[in-house]
Amino acid sequence: MLSMTGYGRGHAPLGRRVLVVEIRALNHRFLDLRMRADAELGAEAHVIESYVRKHVVRGRIDVSARVEGKLGGDLVLDHTRARAAFAELCALRDELAPNEPVPLQLLAGVPALFSEAGAPAAEARLAAAEHAVQMACADLVRMRTVEGAVLAADLERRAAGLLQNVERVGVATVDQPAAIREKLSARLRKLLEGAADMPLDAGRLELEVALLADRTDVSEELTRLRSHVAQLRGLLGDPDPVGRKLEFLIQELSREANTVGAKIADAAVAPHVLEIKAELERMREQVQNIL
């Protein structure tokens, strides 16, 4: 099981410098990827972003790519890029302020105008980007796995406690329908004492008492609670993303717990039902952190 949050870092040599990729993952219901890259990383940034999108299921993902280190060789001017940039600046000058001079120093702000002599070819740059992002994603998965194991242990402990309270409710309510039947029958007999002239349909009376007693029977709800807890515990060791499945099971567990609470008004049972609901709320918040 993987945590939603994590951090990964990868790097690869790029000539005399190093291409660094960092990935930070936070909680989010869907995939929200945000990419920041140095201006000189054009095609490389696209490769990095595409790889992350394919290998990260969901979460708020912040990806940064940068080149660290100083240029160590001679600088080479990209004459084609410089001419094109200067022509565009002149065209803008002619449109906005004809006859005004266009200083050459404006070209200093054009990204990737200079490159290092002997710099890696495009294929080598793309290979470096792939290596760095693969390393970063693997590092992210390792951290998510470690944190996921901690979350799984916490949810396992909470699920065990939840099941204990379910069993306590089961023990406290196993004889409740019969007790309610006997209590209602005794009250009716007392109310009808001395009312010989009042016709009483014994069969209908028994049916009504049985229906009322049946409405307080929570055996089916407890069975479903046990089943959902077993399914939840079975997902805790799954290496695939299980966050959405866990969210669904928590929702179903809460629905069954609410039904039990609505059916049972016994003061001896109420604390256990409240603890079940409280534990489910804590588990729901924890599940939000699971991929």
CA distance 282 to 204: 46
- ∠ CA(153), CA(156), CA(162), 5° rounding? 145
Q: How far is CA 18 from CA 13, 31, 84, 140, in A?
A: 4, 28, 29, 20
- What is the percent of the chain where pLDDT is above 70? 84
Q: Contacts from 279-282 at CB under 8 Å and sequence distance 24+?
A: 279/158, 279/161, 279/162, 279/165, 280/162, 280/250, 280/253, 280/254, 281/254, 282/158
Beta bridge mates, 26: 60
Residue 224 · residue 256 · CB < 8 Å: yes
Exposure letters 254-273 (e unless 16+ CB within 10 A, then b): bebbeebbebbebeebeebb
Residue 245 · residue 232 · CB < 8 Å: no
The DSSP 8-state label assigned to residue 290 in this structure reads B
Q: Which range has the top average pLDDT, 68-77, 118-127, 177-186? A: 118-127
Confidence of residue 196 (pLDDT cuts 50, 70, 90): low
Q: E strand or H helix at 13, and its extent?
A: strand 6-14
**Residue 133 above 70 pLDDT?**
yes
Residue 291 · residue 59 · CB < 8 Å: yes
Residue 14 · residue 125 · CB < 8 Å: yes
Beta strands in 27-82 (DSSP E): 31-37, 59-68, 75-77
Closest CA to 284 of 252, 261, 239, 237: 252
pLDDT in tens, 229-248: 999 999 998 888 999 999 99
Global model pTM greater than 0.85: no
CA distance 99 to 7: 54
Q: Mean pLDDT lowest for which of 192-196, 222-226, 254-258?
A: 192-196
The residue behind tokens 């055996």 is 219
**Residue 63 above 80 pLDDT?**
yes
Centre a 10 Å sphere on the Cβ of residue 8 and count the other Cβ atoms it contains. 23
**Residue 57 above 70 pLDDT?**
yes
State phi, psi for 68 to the nearest 5 degrees.
Answer: -105, 150
Residue 166 · residue 229 · CB < 8 Å: yes
